[in-house]
Amino acid sequence: MVFLPDESRSLPPPPIVNKASVWLGLTGWVAALLDNGFSQRPVIRAGVHRQILFTTVGWFVGYYLAKRTEYVHAKLDRELFEYVKQHPEDFKTAGW
Protein backbone atom coordinates (compact mmCIF):
# COMPACT_ATOMS: atom_id res chain seq x y z
CA MET A 1 0.00 0.00 0.00
CA VAL A 2 1.37 3.40 -0.91
CA PHE A 3 -0.18 5.35 1.92
CA LEU A 4 0.92 3.08 4.77
CA PRO A 5 3.62 0.47 4.07
CA ASP A 6 3.57 -2.91 5.79
CA GLU A 7 6.42 -1.92 8.11
CA SER A 8 4.09 0.61 9.74
CA ARG A 9 2.21 -2.28 11.35
CA SER A 10 4.94 -2.64 13.95
CA LEU A 11 4.10 0.79 15.39
CA PRO A 12 1.46 1.19 18.09
CA PRO A 13 -1.74 2.71 16.72
CA PRO A 14 -2.46 6.36 17.48
CA PRO A 15 -5.27 7.11 19.91
CA ILE A 16 -8.75 7.19 18.38
CA VAL A 17 -9.24 10.73 19.65
CA ASN A 18 -6.32 12.75 18.30
CA LYS A 19 -5.90 16.28 17.01
CA ALA A 20 -6.14 15.36 13.32
CA SER A 21 -9.29 13.26 13.81
CA VAL A 22 -11.04 15.95 15.81
CA TRP A 23 -10.17 18.74 13.38
CA LEU A 24 -11.07 16.81 10.23
CA GLY A 25 -14.25 15.44 11.82
CA LEU A 26 -15.26 18.98 12.72
CA THR A 27 -14.36 20.12 9.21
CA GLY A 28 -16.56 17.40 7.72
CA TRP A 29 -19.48 18.43 9.90
CA VAL A 30 -19.06 22.10 8.98
CA ALA A 31 -18.88 21.10 5.30
CA ALA A 32 -22.25 19.35 5.64
CA LEU A 33 -23.71 22.42 7.37
CA LEU A 34 -22.38 24.69 4.63
CA ASP A 35 -23.86 22.40 1.99
CA ASN A 36 -27.24 22.71 3.71
CA GLY A 37 -26.89 26.49 3.90
CA PHE A 38 -25.90 26.90 0.26
CA SER A 39 -28.76 24.64 -0.82
CA GLN A 40 -31.16 26.79 1.23
CA ARG A 41 -32.18 23.96 3.53
CA PRO A 42 -32.44 24.21 7.32
CA VAL A 43 -28.79 24.22 8.34
CA ILE A 44 -28.82 21.86 11.32
CA ARG A 45 -32.05 19.90 10.93
CA ALA A 46 -31.73 18.86 7.26
CA GLY A 47 -29.49 16.03 6.12
CA VAL A 48 -28.50 14.70 9.53
CA HIS A 49 -27.37 11.50 7.82
CA ARG A 50 -25.01 13.56 5.63
CA GLN A 51 -23.68 15.38 8.68
CA ILE A 52 -22.91 12.06 10.35
CA LEU A 53 -21.34 10.70 7.16
CA PHE A 54 -19.11 13.74 6.58
CA THR A 55 -18.06 13.79 10.24
CA THR A 56 -17.21 10.09 10.17
CA VAL A 57 -15.25 10.34 6.92
CA GLY A 58 -13.32 13.33 8.27
CA TRP A 59 -12.61 11.47 11.51
CA PHE A 60 -11.20 8.42 9.72
CA VAL A 61 -9.13 10.50 7.31
CA GLY A 62 -7.70 12.35 10.30
CA TYR A 63 -6.94 9.04 12.04
CA TYR A 64 -5.05 7.69 9.04
CA LEU A 65 -3.20 10.97 8.57
CA ALA A 66 -2.08 10.77 12.21
CA LYS A 67 -1.02 7.18 11.61
CA ARG A 68 0.93 8.21 8.52
CA THR A 69 2.58 11.08 10.40
CA GLU A 70 3.71 8.76 13.20
CA TYR A 71 5.11 6.33 10.63
CA VAL A 72 7.07 9.07 8.82
CA HIS A 73 8.49 10.37 12.11
CA ALA A 74 9.42 6.86 13.28
CA LYS A 75 11.13 6.16 9.96
CA LEU A 76 13.10 9.42 10.20
CA ASP A 77 14.12 8.62 13.79
CA ARG A 78 15.27 5.16 12.77
CA GLU A 79 17.37 6.56 9.92
CA LEU A 80 18.91 9.24 12.14
CA PHE A 81 19.79 6.74 14.91
CA GLU A 82 21.31 4.43 12.31
CA TYR A 83 23.43 7.30 11.00
CA VAL A 84 24.58 8.20 14.51
CA LYS A 85 25.45 4.56 15.13
CA GLN A 86 27.49 4.37 11.91
CA HIS A 87 29.35 7.65 12.57
CA PRO A 88 30.15 7.73 16.31
CA GLU A 89 33.16 10.03 15.80
CA ASP A 90 30.82 12.84 14.73
CA PHE A 91 28.62 12.47 17.83
CA LYS A 92 30.91 12.27 20.84
CA THR A 93 29.34 12.61 24.24
CA ALA A 94 30.52 15.44 26.43
CA GLY A 95 32.60 14.03 29.27
CA TRP A 96 32.25 15.98 32.51
Contacts of 55 (CB under 8 A, 6+ apart): 25, 26, 28, 29, 32
- pLDDT tens for the chain, 96 residues: list them: 467 888 888 899 999 999 999 999 999 999 999 999 999 999 999 999 999 999 999 999 999 999 999 999 999 999 999 999 998 888 887 766
HSE value, Cβ hemisphere, 13 Å, CA-based, for 69: 12
φ, ψ at 46 (rounded to 5°): -90, 145
The answer to whether the pTM exceeds 0.85 is no
